[in-house]
Structure 1
Amino acid sequence: MASDVPTLRSLARALGLSRTTVSDALRGSPRVDPNTASRVKKAAREAGYRRNPLAGALMSELRRSRGAAFRGVIAAIDFNEPNRPAAAAAYHKELVSGAEERASELGFKVERFVVGNGGVSVQRLDSILQSRGIHGVVLLPAWDEPDLTNLDWHTFAGIYTDYIIEHPALHSVCPDHYRSMLAALQRLAGLGYRQPGLLLQKHQDERLQFRWGAAFRAFLENHPEVRAVPPLIVENFTREEFVKWFRKHKPDVVISHHSEAMDWMESCGARIPETHGFVALNVWMKTRPCAGLDLQPRTLGARATELLIAQLQRNETGIPEWPLTTTIPARWVDGPSVRQLKP
């Protein structure tokens, strides 16, 4: 019995067009007249046609490689943002490395694209990905709120490698910031620290919906043996503001992304780790050796790639109705900036 599932061939027959024209129209090829492309897409929607992005990627790759072994392509999209800390580059590099390793194991390869200053526009990116037959995108973390609504999400599946994205709302894979902060504070308490202080740039907490600060306060409220030190949350890190806070509240360990704070602590007479400690909230952004949290970007990149490939294999493109978030706890890394337990 003939299948009722619409195909490229049945669409072409119904529209009186060639199969190649219908295929080119659905993947956004500029070779097709815009009016014809609009008619094809309208007919495909009404018929309930859903193209298979892996099949399209297969044909695109075979055409480029002239018959070589197939490896599907995934785009890793980074954002060139002037406000993003320069130290974040190492973290992003690890994310891409994890994605590349896992993609290779699953028969895919990753290509990196940069959007924004010095990179391509979102509209240009859409054209490039469509013409290359790339329908899976891993979005690297953005410092400011990213906006990729101009991509034709009917043909793409996407995963964001940070806490939350709204434009559009996609599935995410990110560190478990709240749980990781609680674990770090518990470890510091076990090492004998009783006056932890938190130094944060305001934007770094806001973009995570205040998870660092919330976990810090919750720990202090539920551990009376640890003295509450008011967190120092600032627009921008400055030595003067830090020194004033450090001398007034006397934290015995400082937790922060900003490892330059160790220099400021030492200028106040602190001897690290003999009298005071320091913990980096992201060891991939440290500027000198220290203990801290490894947010495991390589693992995040690998997990994001697994989830993205699974979407492609299920032919799930578009913006999900219910975006899901997968979180991965950070790993504690010992270092010379905290005291060690004696055997």
Structure 2
Amino acid sequence: MERRVTQSDVARRAGVTRPAVTMALRGHPSIPLATQERIRRIAEEMGYVPDPMLSALASYRSTLRPASYHGTLAWLGNNLPPFDWREVTMFRSYYDGAVRRAASYGYNVEIFDFQAKGSTPEKIAKAFRFRNISGVLLSPQPGPSWELSFPWEHFSFVTFGYSLVRPALHTVAPTQFRAMMMTMRKLYEKGYRRIGFGCSFLVDERTDHHLLGGYLVEKALFERKLTMPLFDEEKADAPLFRKWFLKHRPDAIVTGNPRLLQVIEDAGFRVPEDVGLACPTLPEPDIDFAGVYEDSFHMGETAVDTLVGMIHRGERGIPERPHYVHVPGLWLEGRTLRDRHAPEKKNAGTAKRSRRSS
């Protein structure tokens, strides 16, 4: 049987120590990028593959001791006014989750921003290299269909959602298409039949139209037709909503923003007595609003899991085949829907509200 190629074999061919091979194959920042690439090329030419049993043993041993300091991960924002990712509940939770999970691997997370005074992509990349930062979490962009220029080839990147269209990077995102389908099915189960679409068209574009797609699929499967025009929550005020509502008479509305509850009440209608309301993209789990809670904190954790794995595998630059990690949400009953099969309850409470930004 042919002998397995070991890291010691690779080290002899490359003229380095075995620990240097180990660190190079893991993308350790103490090994120059050119050396890492040379060692990976030699390992590939020799047919080296990691021993799965030894890898599992090393992973097990690492869980038995506290995480040692490995370095810094960058959180790279793009706060082009008036946008600020820190003011968006879900985006802030991405960051908080990332910080928590990074600490478990022995990393700090430091914030950088494209819009900081005097910043350019080249200066930011230079700062990363000077600080031995090889992993970058790219925050959601100020708007949909965003394009960025950066020296990508030196770093491992993971981003969030679909606002960045070029380049296509490894991405962590909520399952918004399935969340909308789940929301629609819950409404049909509760006896609602005329369900209106009340999401911001801009937010829907940020989700790569996953919200509208899930809505239209369920409408087609259950009703076989689109029974009323779409309503853009982004431009909604009480008079505009009242006109749309009285003309089309929905018995329920799906929205991407819990703020629509206040617009409906200002228009003189009660939720859920006059109209049901559900949100497939809830930013918080405790607002008494029916819908799907996205758990953005967990998405931040998942992004770091993905990024650390890339660093260990030495994956840099724009991927040839970007991966999309979709994190499912959790259905919450809330108080903005009622069971239309059951007798209506009197004095139903109103739902607490949550601030959410597009």
The two structures have a TM-score, normalised by structure 1, of: 0.74
3-state SS of paired residue (1:244): helix
1:311 aligned residue: 310
Q: Per-residue CA shift, 1:119-178, capped at 9, x if unaligned?
A: 84333321221111111011121132444422x222200111113633322111101111
Distance 1:245 1:4 in 2: 73
- CA positional deviation for 1:221: 1.0
Question: Retained in 2: the 8 A contact 1:170–1:319?
Answer: yes
Alignment of 1:136-215 (within 5 A): 136-144=135-143, 145-150=145-150, 152-163=151-162, 165-215=164-214
Give aligned-pair identity as a percent: 26
Task: After superposing the two structures, state which structure 1 stretch, 230-239 or 131-140, moved more.
Answer: 230-239
Whole-Å separation in 1 of the counterparts to 2:284 and 2:124 = 29
Q: Which residue of 1 aligns with 2:14?
A: 5
CA–CA separation in structure 1 for the residues paired with 2:268 and 2:82: 32
Q: Which moved further from structure 2: 245-254 or 176-185?
A: 245-254
Unaligned runs of 5+ residues in structure 2 are 1-8, 18-28, 42-66, 344-358
Task: Provide the C-alpha distance between the structure 2 equivalents of 1:206 and 1:168, rounded to a whole number of angstroms.
Answer: 17
Q: For structure 1, which segment, 241-250 or 257-266, has the greater mean C-alpha deviation from structure 2 after superposition?
A: 257-266
The amino acid across from 1:323 in the alignment is P
Structure-2 residue corresponding to 1:272: 271
Q: Distance in 2 between matches of 1:260 and 1:284?
A: 12
Relative to structure 2, which stretch is displaced further, 163-172 or 291-300? 163-172
Q: Corresponding residue for 1:230?
A: 229
Deviations 1:258-303 (Å, cap 9, x if unpaired)?
33322332244422122222123432289x7522321221111111
C-alpha separation between the residues in 1 aligned to 2:288 and 2:208? Answer: 29
Aligned match of 1:333: 332
Q: What SS does structure 1 have at the residue aligned with 2:98?
A: helix
Whether the 8 Å CA contact 2:73–2:136 is kept in 1: the answer is yes
Cα RMSD (Å): 3.5
Any idea what the Cα deviations from partners look like across 1:48-91, whole Å, max 9, x if unmatched? Answer: 4669xxxxxxxxxxxxxxxx952332112222133548895221
Partner Cα separation in structure 1 for residue 279 and residue 117 of structure 2: 31
AA of the residue aligned to 1:80 = N
Q: CA contact under 8 A between 2:183 and 2:280: conserved in structure 1?
A: no
Secondary structure in 1 aligned to 2:103?
helix
Displacement of 1:222 = 0.7
Aligned pairs, how many?
296
Q: Aligned partner of 1:294: which letter? A: Y
CA contact (8 A) 2:290 2:337 kept: yes
Q: Go from structure 1 to structure 2 and tell me whether the alpha carbon gap of 1:83 and 1:255 turns closer, same or farther (over 3 Å shift).
A: farther
Structure 2 length normalisation: TM-score? 0.71
Q: Does 1:106 align with 2:105?
A: yes
1:33 is aligned to none
> Which region of structure 1 is more displaced relative to structure 2, 323-332 or 333-342?
333-342
CA contact (8 A) 2:147 2:166 kept: yes
Q: 1:83 to 1:214 in 2, by over 3 A?
A: farther
Alignment of 1:29-68 (within 5 A): 48=38
Cα distance, 1:312–1:204 mapped onto 2, change above 3 Å: same
How many Å apart are 1:192 and its aligned residue? 1.9
Cα offset, 1:181, TM superposition:
0.3
CA gap 1:268/1:234 in 2 versus in 1, 3 angstroms: closer
Letter in 2 for 1:320: P
